[in-house]
Structure 1
Amino acid sequence: MTSIDCDVAVIGAGTAGLAAERHARKNGARTVLIDPAFRGTTCAAVGCMPSKLLIAAAQAAHSVRQAPEFGVMATAEVDGKAVMARVRALRDHFVAGVKDSFERVPQKLKGKARFTSATTLELEGGERVTAKAIVIATGATPSVPEDYDVVSDLVLTNETVFELEDFPKRLAVIGAGSLGAELAQAFARLGVEVTLLDSGSGVAGLKGEEAARMADFLREDMAVHLEAKVKVARDGAGARLDWEQGSVVVDRVLVAAGRPPALKGLGLETTGLVLDDHGTPEFDHATLRCGSSTIFIAGDANHDRPVLHEATAEGSIAGRNAANLSNILAAERKVPMAITFTHPNVATVGHVPEGVETVTGRADYADQGRARAEAHNRGFVRLEGDGEGHILSATLCMPDGEHVAHYFALAISQGMTAAEMLDQPIYHPTLEEGLRKALSQICQHCNLPVPWDRRSGPQPGDI
């Protein structure tokens, strides 16, 4: 058995793992990066980038079909094989960039690792690693319920769907969360007959009436069934999905029902760590340290904020702290932000601290000027502020919400009030103008002076 000693061992060469190894090394640690495949990050290989490539193709097809509304006569003919070939070609380009970064890591070990104690790891190839600190950055993996075993050859996940050579004629998507909603709408706009099903009532992170409105937007492209308890059966060469309100036969089933942390087989039971009900180590969200141990956990493996920019931040925090066990620092975390790249975009920014009473501002995009000009007039905004008018959170379901979300992340991080946001320049005609109503409502609730609004006429000194 080959024995290796190091200061910091990092398990997982994804976004969080690469950041952890890099920052541990920058802080003077001797590192080892361990991964079963070194295939590239989830984002580049099977997540963010290939899905956005598919969405881009879908938006191109949708724009052509929508062109007659502007007096432009055009028809769209979609070549599924060409679409998927472009998705894979550019996906591989992005993955190659990640793989280049592996070459800059001084010490790497390929294979599955498992803990044999809180400071030792064994790899399937026989290597033994002893480390002063260990960072768990194993990511997450698709969850496919056992019910789908009967049609396992027809099941797709985010890790296999981009390998399709051509589109299926009929596709069921299970799960209306961000991933399911994005891919379902993309395939539907590319001409696939899509049925989106979810056992719950939420859509793309929205709940209640807001989820219902988003579901209606999605129904413009496909069938959407919420609170559908699905039963699966084989139907010839296809799959039949039955639920109380209906039934559908499809050629393939894309399961997007969640991505739990990839911790199985890691031997966490040997570490002495306290595990939660899902088998995830309990950890400090500011330091990423698991209890009082020398083990840290970052990225999708801790399932706290499973998005790329947070994985990078968490890897950086964990790597720095793992290399400085005598001086572990609590980091100030970024404003929470999550975006679903459907059309309209869905974004949630910030959060309301427990026990804080809020005031609400709302706006609708059905008749917003710029949105109507571009025939994207679908959506709404809900803002929550505290009693002094500081913006705490924003829920956006609107065109270009992915960009407006960053506007609110900055405002929340700077502690801005609705009045201060209204006092910033808002160009005409832009989608940002549609935010005025929601911001003004918060000002009125909090008895804040509302800065000049063109609808109320010019004020002294404004001209």
Structure 2
Amino acid sequence: METADLIVIGSGQGGIPLATDFAKAGHKVVLFERDALGGSCVNYGCTPSKAFLAAAHAAGRARQAAKLGINTQVQVDFPRVMERVRGIRARFNQGVRQRLENARVQVVCAEASFTGERIVTSKDVTVQAPLIVINTGTSSAIPDIPGLAGTPYLTNRNFFDLKELPKRLLVIGAGYIGLELGQGLARLGSETHLIVRGDRVLAQEEADVSQTLAAALQLDGISVHFQVNVEQVDYNNNIFTLTLSNGESLAGEALMVVIGRKPNTDALNVAAAGVELDKKGFIKINDQFQTTTQGIYAIGDAAGQPAFTHVSWEDYRRLKAILCGEQRTRSDRVLGYAVYTEPQVGRVGMTLEQATKQGINARAVTLPIDQIARGIEWGHDLGFYRMVIDRDTNKILGATLVGYETAELVHVFLSLMEADATWQVLEQSVHIHPTYGEALPSLARLLIEDD
């Protein structure tokens, strides 16, 4: 049995910097990774998806430029698009490998499981350490639909291995992955159908966010089938046929299943270490990331944290500070996220409904993007900016931005909220004209007008 100072299980965006920092400080670090180094972000998440969407949205914008008086004929070289995506992914993956090698982290490329309280074993390596960090992430949840198993359906895990553009794409699920990749293939030329169990897309967001995105998808020619379930999947002669609960059937050359995520904890045998899981299989942690076993911590989405790279990265920064004796917690931060459809969705903090449910005396103001000078000039009609504030303290509680590049704009609210600023700080700011950012002080000024 080997000994180490730190064991990291999983090479996601929190585990990698933690492992390299400790190794550079002179500690012996062993990292176990059963799959590609870099975790989901580098290999089948942020990096390849946004490289893919760069091409898809370029094509979509060109096609929709007719209202500006620009008529174009778009020709998509899909193999070249995907070759570029895979090239960027490979470069990032190699960068992770080089970073670990330079830091002299011992990497074990194998499935890891606990065989004792602080003992981790792969097929031919057993390591004991006083400190263990679990960073195993999540993977696609697959529904138990008759006929689905054994077919070559897509998830975000194998989507980027596509070599040819499918003539018809069927998507089960309407969360952010389904919308991003589904809209992306539609903009590159696939006839796309979304099968939605509920009555709206991106159902975790406010209703008008869903309505705006549904309108945008329709502009791209995407068919959205609401309030239906898939009862049967048939795959014959390279064609998927879905039987829906409303009696209809849909056929396509590709099927993508994106109904949600599940934690990668099944193979860990955490019971051997005394680590407890919740009912959904996520690792139980306290506010300092510690599991139910002393010396074992968990970060990222395997521990039920929001499934975003920046969250895992900030988990790493906080856990490192905690291990160094600082008073940090996983809650001492303002969290935001974005959906990279077009229009984009930028989100931070609470919605009005969420604030009201917590008993906060809150109010919201909304500014449609078609009332913003830059939106009118650029022909962007869909979207809005919304801010939620606490009436009693004037603090900003949250923001929802739907529109062009709102993933960038939402950082204004992130910074203001991190600084505990009031909405008056934004109202008094002088933003450049004409920009989309100029509308943020205008949004705040609606609070004055409404008084």
User: Normalising by the residue count of structure 1, what TM-score does the alignment of the two structures yield?
Assistant: 0.89
User: For 1:262 and 1:436, how far apart are their aligned partners in 2?
Assistant: 43
Give, in angstroms, the shift of residue 437 of structure 1. Answer: 4.7
Q: Secondary structure of 2:261's partner?
A: coil
User: For 2:412 and 2:297, how far apart are their aligned partners in 1?
Assistant: 32
Question: Any gaps of 5 or more consecutive residues in structure 1?
Answer: 448-463
Q: Secondary structure of 1:186's partner?
A: helix
The 1:443/1:272 distance shift into structure 2, 3 A limit, reads: farther
Letter aligned with residue 376 of structure 2: R
Give, in angstroms, the shift of residue 335 of structure 1. Answer: 1.1
Letter aligned with residue 224 of structure 2: V
Q: Residue 300 of structure 2 corresponds to which residue in structure 1?
A: 299
Q: Residue 68 of structure 1 corresponds to which residue in structure 2?
A: 66
Deviations 1:94-151 (A, max 9, x none): 22222221212422222111112221111122x2111101100111111222316536
Aligned residues: 439
Give, in angstroms, the shift of residue 9 of structure 1. Answer: 0.7
- What aligned pairs does 1:73-152 form with structure 2 within 5 A after superposition? 73-106=71-104, 107-125=106-124, 127-147=125-145, 149-150=147-148, 152=150
Give, in angstroms, the shift of residue 211 of structure 1. Answer: 1.6
Letter aligned with residue 379 of structure 2: A
User: For 1:282 and 1:291, how far apart are their aligned partners in 2?
Assistant: 7
Residue pair 1:54, 1:186 contacting (<8 A) in 2 also? yes
The 1:91/1:38 distance shift into structure 2, 3 A limit, reads: closer
Give, in angstroms, the shift of residue 283 of structure 1. Answer: 0.7
Letter aligned with residue 109 of structure 1: V
Residue pair 1:359, 1:442 contacting (<8 A) in 2 also? no
Residue pair 2:57, 2:187 contacting (<8 A) in 1 also? yes
User: For 2:103 and 2:32, how far apart are their aligned partners in 1?
Assistant: 11
Q: Residue 217 of structure 1 corresponds to which residue in structure 2?
A: 216
Q: Percent identity?
A: 28
The 1:72/1:368 distance shift into structure 2, 3 A limit, reads: same
1:177 aligns with 2:175: yes
Give, in angstroms, the shift of residue 337 of structure 1. Answer: 0.6
Letter aligned with residue 62 of structure 1: G
Deviations 1:18-43 (A, max 9, x none): 12213434565432111124433321
User: For 1:282 and 1:151, how far apart are their aligned partners in 2?
Assistant: 31
User: For 1:102 and 1:11, how far apart are their aligned partners in 2?
Assistant: 14
The 1:419/1:86 distance shift into structure 2, 3 A limit, reads: same
The correspondence for 1:406, drawn from 391, 411, 418, is 411
Q: Secondary structure of 1:21's partner?
A: helix
The 1:306/1:333 distance shift into structure 2, 3 A limit, reads: farther
Give, in angstroms, the shift of residue 316 of structure 1. Answer: 3.1
Residue pair 1:135, 1:318 contacting (<8 A) in 2 also? no
| More deviation, 138-147/34-43 | 34-43
1:256 aligns with 2:258: yes
- What aligned pairs does 1:297-376 form with structure 2 within 5 A after superposition? 297-322=298-323, 324=324, 327=325, 329-331=327-329, 333-351=332-350, 354-376=358-380
Residue pair 1:80, 1:167 contacting (<8 A) in 2 also? yes
Deviations 1:220-243 (A, max 9, x none): 111122332222321533222233
Letter aligned with residue 254 of structure 2: R
Give, in angstroms, the shift of residue 55 of structure 1. Answer: 0.9
User: For 2:122 and 2:183, how far apart are their aligned partners in 1?
Assistant: 41
User: For 2:321 and 2:36, how far apart are their aligned partners in 1?
Assistant: 22
Letter aligned with residue 82 of structure 1: R
User: For 2:103 and 2:171, how far apart are their aligned partners in 1?
Assistant: 39
Q: Residue 195 of structure 2 corresponds to which residue in structure 1?
A: 197
Letter aligned with residue 180 of structure 1: G
Question: Any gaps of 5 or more consecutive residues in structure 2?
Answer: none
Deviations 1:183-216 (A, max 9, x none): 0111101110011122234533423343233222
| More deviation, 106-115/350-359 | 350-359
The 1:148/1:345 distance shift into structure 2, 3 A limit, reads: farther
Q: Secondary structure of 1:265's partner?
A: helix
Give, in angstroms, the shift of residue 62 of structure 1. Answer: 1.8
- Supply the RMSD in Å over aligned alpha carbons: 2.2
The correspondence for 2:424, drawn from 419, 426, 430, is 419
Residue pair 2:82, 2:162 contacting (<8 A) in 1 also? yes
User: Normalising by the residue count of structure 2, what TM-score does the alignment of the two structures yield?
Assistant: 0.91
